[in-house]
Chains A and B, each alone.
Chain A
Amino acid sequence: MKFFEKIANIDSRIIYLLLFIVVLIPVAFKLVLPVRVSEPVQAAYDSIEKLPEGSVILFSVDYDASSAPEIQPMLLATLRHAFSKKHKVLLLGQWALGLPFGEIGLNEIAPQFDAKYGMDYVNLGYRPGYRAQMVGMGREIRDFFASDYKGTPVDSIPLMQGIHNYNDIDLLVGLEAGQAGDEWIQFAGARYGLNIIIGATGVIAPDMFHYLQAKQIKGLMGGLQGAAEYETLVKHSGTGIAGMVAQSYAHLLLLGFILIGNVGYFVIRRRKQA
């Protein structure tokens, strides 16, 4: 009886320890599993793939350090895809402390495709008050971003010539860890008809499915799995694919615990009834 009571009430610390070990081993030994691409991620990929060369893609970095492990691989994979297709990249961020991740991403990917700052990509930076900004950019980007993140006037940047509002942007890639994704869809998508794909944390992603079903967004990458699927599509393995084995084992462990807990629960209940 005691044994079953124990397995029905395992100390949380044991669960934490085993979970830590299960996550650590695949990461340390770089184990890999094949990744199946789901429809929402394929749709996100196709949205960039089908754009004609030279299209303008706006990346919105709306996350910070806490959710970067999940979303940064999405940024890297989508940037890789955009630059490989010779699209033009504009990047801005709605989270002040997340913007460095955008800059890190651009610095990592752009040189691999000989993309030049000011010609092929621009980092517009962060401005406070994102709702007003999202609405106002439908009229003129310069009203909010008169200069890029270094303070260079936008009018002196060659890429920005002729880019004034959402008319001049072909796709928005919203990388979201909070509410900004809903706001992009509501203001830039519904009001100005901007095409949007979303990459969101595993917690936020289920909230995005109804936008996907209503065709208010063109594609969706959810959590580390979404990042891994996009990495598979662009044929470049990154931390998304690397994290999949750890996530797989963690899910299995959790299922194991749930099963054990239920066995203990049932045995105790049956004995009590008897």
Chain B
Amino acid sequence: MKKEIPLAITFITGLIIIVTFFIPHQPLGTMQQRLLLWYSIVLGFTMLLGMDSLLRSNIRKIAKRSPGWPFALVLIIGFLGTLIVGIYTWATSESLLSLGSSFMYVYTYFIIPLQATMFSLLAFFIASAAYRAFRARTMEATLLLITAAIVMLGRVPIGAEIWDKFPLIQDWIMEVPQMAAKRGIVIGVALGTIAMSLRVILGLERTYLT
């Protein structure tokens, strides 16, 4: 029974979602929307689960003085500090995100620079990965290399300054061969998703059940 009940719930829910897609009549018409709302509510509560896991594992690290425990301490201080400022702003300001509120101070001077820094690292990592990966080892790799060079030049204004056809060739590459390859993968993924969903609904795929 431990497996049969979840499998039955999966089957019925899957079937409802498929059927209600084609039936606008109430109460079936808004069923999908209602299930999505339930999902959002459940997700909200699971954040507590996440917080519990985060705090417990980091407090354990500090208590045991595990390697890198000062990082865990910074995390706990950051977590509690943001929580306190958030609650204070919520109690005293008209909106948590109103410009000039205490939470916005944390947002502007901590969260924005931290997030922007992490994202900007991507430029450096793309550079090192591209340098390593773009080697003309084979005919295909050479074609990929030439295409990448044209797209990189065509995407920025200096490309048009070098040769005014670069942006046009770049547009064509993005719109024709790039799209064709991408569509091929998308169709494969879509079919794979349908097959996998069917396996889940029919109870053949049970790896998510433990």
Contacts and interface: CB of A to CB of B under 8 A. Distances in A.
Interface stretch (B60-68, B70-78, B95-103): B95-103
B33 A135 contact: yes
A246 B183 CA distance: 32
B94 A213 contact: no
Interface residues of A, number: 62
Q: For the side of the interface on B, what is the size category?
A: 35 or more
B55 interface: no
B199 interface: no
A67 interface: yes
B158 interface: yes
A12 B145 contact: no
Nearest to B34: A132
B158 A251 contact: yes
A222 to B, nearest CB: 9
B152 interface: yes
A262 B115 contact: no
Contacts of A245: 157-158
A272 interface: no
B201 interface: no
Interface in A84-130: 96-97, 99-100, 103-104, 107, 125-126, 128-129
A65 interface: yes
A189 interface: no
A176 interface: no
Contact of B161 (A20, A33, A255, A265): A33
A132 B40 CA distance: 9
Contacts of A249: 158
B32 to A, nearest CB: 8
A257 B33 CA distance: 51
B156 A225 contact: yes
B99 A38 contact: no
14 contacts: A15-B131, A19-B127, A23-B123, A64-B115, A68-B112, A97-B111, A99-B97, A129-B36, A132-B33, A151-B94, A223-B155, A247-B156, A252-B158, A257-B131
Given A249-B158, A257-B131, 8 more contacts: A19-B123, A69-B116, A100-B108, A125-B95, A150-B94, A248-B156, A257-B127, A262-B134
